[in-house]
Every structure is written in C-alpha cells, then in structure tokens.
Structure 1
Amino acid sequence: MQISSFLFPKDKVAFITSSMSMKEAMDQLEHHHYSAIPIIDDDGKYIGTLSEGDLLWKLKNTPGLTFDNMQQVPVTEIKKRIHNECVSINAQMEDMLALAADQNFVPVVNNDRVFIGIIRRKDIIAYYTKNITD
C-alpha cells in the first residue's frame, strides 16, 4: 500500500504561513479546533508545526506580551517545542507509521519538500481496525 492512500490533501487542511503573526496562528487553531497546525513558507514548503503549547510558552516567557499585542510577534519567533517530522509522498509505509506513532498527524511533502497534505493518525487507526483479520 502507498502512503498516498492515506493522504488528506492540502486543500482540505488548515495550515499557517511563516509570514503570519502569533495572533493569526492562534485564530487559525481556534477556528479549526486544532491543537497543532502545519507551517509552510512562502514557497509552499513545510517548515514545522506550531502547537497550542508553543503559543502558551511564548506568552508566558515573553515579558510584556499580551493578547493585545500578539499581532506584532511573527510565527517564526515562536520556539517549537516538538519537532513534527514530515514524510515524502514516496516514502515507505514503515517510515510513515513510525512517525504516526508519535505525532497526531504526519505532514507529507513532495520531492521538493513542498507541503501537499497530511496523514492523520486517526485515519491509519481506522484503516487497520477495519482491516485486521485474525
């Protein structure tokens, strides 16, 4: 089986760009009810994943930062505490499954590292639950 069978395409995935502010990122997380969201750069390449925890730690550890001035903080200035690895669309199933064990979703990129979607752990579990035979 190809990992593309599990791909949730980019046009159906919420993501943020590296040019967004902390406030915009927080709004996207809230709007989509996500706890983490992929970040892509201006060329469409995956550069990381931002989590609610990352936002909380930035707010806690930055003197003077409040909800009122978060618009001034670029996403690129927020430390990512967890590094979500991405996988190539051409990777082996084993590579993707190893990442999915530790991540709620696995970002998927093409050969140029351009973000093309995600593989959700819940879809993998649903597939294997449905297809397990004794």
Structure 2
Amino acid sequence: MKISSFLLPKEKVAFLTSSCSMLDAIEQLEGRYYTALPIVDDEGKYVGTLSEGDLLWKLKSTPELDFANLQQVPVSEIKKHIHNESVSINAQMDDMLALAADQNFVPVVDDAGIFIGIIRRKDIIEYYMKSITD
C-alpha cells in the first residue's frame, strides 16, 4: 500500500521555516501542544525537525540568551539532537514501520525533496493493528 493515502498534507501540518526565530518556534510548539515540528528551508525542502529538547539545550548552552532576545536566534542556528528521516511519497507502508518506532511523525517529500506533509505514528500503528486483527 502506498503511503499517500495516510498523508497529512502540508496545508494541515504545523511546520517551521529555517529562517523563523526561536521565539516563533516556542510559540508554535506551545500553541499546538507539540513536542517537535518539521523544518523546511526557503525552497520548501525538508531540512530537519526541531524538538523542545533542542530549544532547552540551546537555552542551557547560551548564557546570554533569555526570553527577551529569543527573536534574534533563527531556527537554523539551533543544533538538532534528533534526526527524523523523511521518506518519498512513493514509499510503501513497510518502509515506514522502522521509522515510526523512533519518530512521532515521518516527514514526506516529493522527488525533488520538497516537504509535502507527514505520516503520523498513530496512523501507522492503526494501519498495522487493523491488518493484524482482520
């Protein structure tokens, strides 16, 4: 089965651009109660995932950083401690299973690497649960 039927399209996904600020990232995470968000560059390509932990490590390792100047730190300058691998829209569901074990979501890209959405771990688990019980 193709993963396209499980795709949550970009238009329905919260994501960050690599040029947005650390403050913007915190507000996005807080406003949606997420722990991580995909990051896309100015060309729309998936470049990584930013987690709450990445933000905390940045605060801890930058003594001069406080809530008053978070707007000055672009997301691109924050070290990412996890790497959520993306998959092609042409991938099969079996390709997703290993990734879903370690990632809350799997970013999906087209043939040019452009971010087109995500597959949630919840949807992958539900698919396999249904397969097992049918």
SS in 2 for 1:47: strand
Match of 1:10 in 2: 10
1:44-123 equivalences under 5 Å are 44-123=44-123
1:5, distance to aligned residue in structure 2 (A): 1.6
- Tell me, in whole angstroms, the C-alpha distance in 2 between the residues paired with 1:133 and 1:116: 31
- Tell me, in whole angstroms, the C-alpha distance in 2 between the residues paired with 1:63 and 1:101: 35
Give the TM-score taking structure 2 as reference length. Answer: 0.95
Match of 1:23 in 2: 23
1:124, distance to aligned residue in structure 2 (A): 1.2
1:129, distance to aligned residue in structure 2 (A): 2.1
Q: How many residues align?
A: 134
Runs of 5+ consecutive residues of structure 1 not aligned to the other structure: none
Match of 1:124 in 2: 124
1:72, distance to aligned residue in structure 2 (A): 0.6
Runs of 5+ consecutive residues of structure 2 not aligned to the other structure: none
Give the share of equivalent positions with the same residue, in percent: 75
SS in 2 for 1:132: helix
1:91, distance to aligned residue in structure 2 (A): 1.6
- Tell me, in whole angstroms, the C-alpha distance in 2 between the residues paired with 1:19 and 1:87: 23
- Tell me, in whole angstroms, the C-alpha distance in 2 between the residues paired with 1:111 and 1:80: 24
